[in-house]
Every structure is written in C-alpha cells, then in structure tokens.
Amino acid sequence: LDEAQNSTPEQMKMFLTRLGFNSKMVVTGDLTQRDLPRTRSGLADAERVLGDIDDVSFCRLSGKDVVRHCLVAAIVTAYDRADA
C-alpha cells in the first residue's frame, strides 16, 4: 500500500486485515505529505495501535535517505527543521 498517509483509519484496518497466510505486507507513506488535513491518517493511527505487536515494524526515513535530485534532500531537511 503506497501513499498510506492519505488513508483513513477505517481504510487502513480494512487493508491490514486482508493479510493472507504465508504473506508479507508493506505499507509506505510520509505523514508530512498528508493531503487529508481534516481526517486522521490511517498510517499514523496504525503506528499508534500496532506499535507494540511482534512482527510489525516501522521504519522511519529522513532526508539522508532521499535518492532523488540532491535538491529534494535539501527541501526535506528544510521542512523537517521548520516542523521542529
């Protein structure tokens, strides 16, 4: 599931509860790019609800992980500083 920051908590639950046997699931998203300002993010909600469950992991990336144009990394860093 890509762009999960734009899912609602209900959509995220629906997606996650469809996991089948012998399967893996990867959910990606960036909470700083949420396009639903008046709605809770399903991604943020999932981290809050599922953070203590074994076999569920959350990996946070930073501007250092950006592998696009070098200016994109600088933009991400600037926004991180502004949010701090």
- pLDDT of 19 reads 94
Instruction: Indicate the SS3 state at residue 55.
Output: coil
- pLDDT of 31 reads 87
Quote the tokens at residue 35: 């396009």
pTM for this model (two decimals): 0.73
- pLDDT of 21 reads 95
- Identify the H or E element spanning 18: none
- pLDDT of 8 reads 94
- pLDDT of 41 reads 93
Q: Which portions of the chain are predicted below pLDDT 70?
A: 66
Which residues are CB-contacts of 31 (< 8 A; sequence separation ≥ 6)?
5, 41, 43, 44
- pLDDT of 24 reads 94
- pLDDT of 83 reads 86
Nearest by Cα to 31 from 76, 69, 72, 73:
76
